[in-house]
Structure 1
Amino acid sequence: MSSSKKDDMIDKDLYEDLEPEEIKAILDEERRSKTKEKETPDQKKDPTFPRWVFGLIVFAVLLNGVAIFPRTFSIPAIDFLVTSHQLSQDETIQSHKESVVGVDTSEGRGTGFGISESGYVVTNYHVIEDETSVTVHYPEEGLFNGDIVKIKPEHDLALIKVDGDDLPYLPLAEHISDYSSPQSITFIGNPLNFTGIANQGKWIASSTATSLETDVMLLDAPVYRGNSGSPVINEEGQVIGVIYATRRDEEWGRVGLAIPVDHVHTLRESQ
């Protein structure tokens, strides 16, 4: 395992470079579909494959033409929407999503997650860089003003505090042991202007070849722009890492990168 520094691609798309027109078409169709759902609330919805996802596929085919039909179906955005819908049927995932927040800054939006009922939220440093305060959006509790109370640029982590009580939060694993074998993980975030998207993957390796002052976790997972700050959750429902970037690895290809939870504990304890 090399110890040389690598260029981590902060908040970049993984697996496939979607053209701006493709992203806009996907978002526009999803918004139209949600509007139709609100207009017909009494209609029964298919719990396994919602009509709006099928609409996305049809729309993409019409947009790009039948000649590239196979490529259209490989668009990861469609895959992660379908996967998120399926995962979100699980009550445990639904509960996890309540603790995952949007972090809005003057430059855009990232992801964060609550780590205490008193309103402490973790996100990436690069999400809130050059900001003194941000807007934090909880799925159920709504909007809060957030103060940045601690930063760790060397680990790309930041701690935000909002004024609130009994806020939802995710439990942190005490630490993560050295990598030994692939482990199934889930993660939740706000990629490509969507909110509360759940997805899954595997922790496949650890690496010292990073731009941060720490080893990082390599994830075989569909990480997208906006997933920065997403919690990596193990099968016991505990946070074991924080997504911050993607990279093309010499051995594994394109992977997501996550900061081990040990540094979240250090961030919290130093406050």
Structure 2
Amino acid sequence: MHDIHRSTKDEELTEEELIELVLDEQQKALAQEQEEHQQGKKPKKQKPIVKWIVWSMAFVLFLNTFALIFQIYSIPAIEFLKVSAQLSAQEDIKTYKKAVVEISTGSSKGTGFAISPDGLIVTNAHVVEDAQTLLVIFPEEGLMEAKLLQSFPDVDLALLQVTGDELPSLSLAENPSYSKNEHVYFIGNPLAFTGIANEGTLLESTPLEDWQEPVMMMEAPVYRGNSGSPVINADGEVIGIVFATMKHEPYGRVGLFVPVQVLHRILNK
């Protein structure tokens, strides 16, 4: 069975999160030292063993920082940012991006998109699993509180609802062909970024364990945070929802998306 990778909040602490925590502690320490200095207190001298521990932690942080920089700002990552900037200049992509939201659960983030003007939103079930809170951020409308309507873990889809009127939304394709090498777009919030537009090409369907029907593969730069991204065809219609990546021979690392027909069946129940 192929090794499928989903982005969940149960993953180990990332370098980015580690750096954020350490920087927070550094800021607290600097603030305390500044306060003591203003009060005329002399800073306490650190014991040699404490200094050694502090310098060791600083060295590890230094290495982790560079590891994260190379991970996020590697050549492929820089390329997808460049592509996103070019695509985002297109009027159709600008329109699609208005309906794509960032979903925050209090401990993780993911992507979703509105499919109706009154605020019905589609995302992955694993994005909102055990959510402490559910907040949705539209690019123009801003922050909104969301309610989980239904979750379908067997096909990794979930429906959310926000209160709104005339919200931007995307149209769902009725019966797409999924032609191999077909050009598609997808928009999401990968890594530390938001509203990233990218492109890819369709490959073929593939079966998954415990799934009743196959999912689609595409050759595309899908990263952590793209879960819930809409896959959009040349007609501007959603043909699928990104949910994972995996390695599949002979293509290598590919993005996986749930076909839109699965979403239609859920909506028509």
Give the direction of change, closer, same or farther, for the CA distance of 1:180–1:130 in structure 2 (3 Å limit).
Answer: same
The answer to whether the aligner puts 1:124 opposite 2:124 as a matched pair is yes
Query: In structure 2, what residue type is equivalent to 1:173?
Result: A
Unaligned runs of 5+ residues in structure 2 are 9-13, 20-64
User: 2:3 — aligned with what?
Assistant: 7
- In the alignment, the residues of structure 2 paired with residue 268 and residue 11 of structure 1 have an alpha-carbon distance, to the nearest angstrom, of 25
The answer to whether the aligner puts 1:144 opposite 2:140 as a matched pair is no
Query: In structure 1, what residue type is equivalent to 2:114?
Result: G
Q: Output aligned runs, 1:1-271, within 5 Å.
A: 5-11=1-7, 20=15, 75-131=75-131, 133-177=133-177, 179-210=178-209, 212-270=211-269
Query: In structure 2, what residue type is equivalent to 1:218?
Result: M
Total equivalences in the alignment = 218
- The answer (yes or no) to whether the contact 2:127–2:227 under 8 Å persists in 1 is yes
- The answer (yes or no) to whether the contact 1:159–1:267 under 8 Å persists in 2 is no
C-alpha RMSD over aligned residues: 2.7
Q: Deviations over 1:167-212 (max 9, x none)?
A: 00000000233x4421100000000121100000101111113553
- The answer (yes or no) to whether the contact 1:100–1:111 under 8 Å persists in 2 is yes
Of structures 1 and 2, the one scoring higher in RCO (CA 8 A, sep 6+) is 1
% identical aligned pairs: 47
Provide TM-score, normalisation by structure 2.
Answer: 0.74
Name the stretch that deviates more: 128-137 or 93-102. 128-137
Q: Matched residue of 1:78: which SS? A: helix
User: 1:15 — aligned with what?
Assistant: none
- In the TM superposition, residue 118 of structure 1 has moved relative to its aligned partner by 0.8
Q: Matched residue of 2:198: which SS? A: strand
Q: Deviations over 1:8-48 (max 9, x none)?
A: 11139xxxxxx947x97xxxxxxxxxxxxxxxxxxxxxxxx
Query: In structure 2, what residue type is equivalent to 1:234?
Result: N
Q: Deviations over 1:47-68 (max 9, x none)?
A: xxxxxxxxxxxxxxxx97xxxx
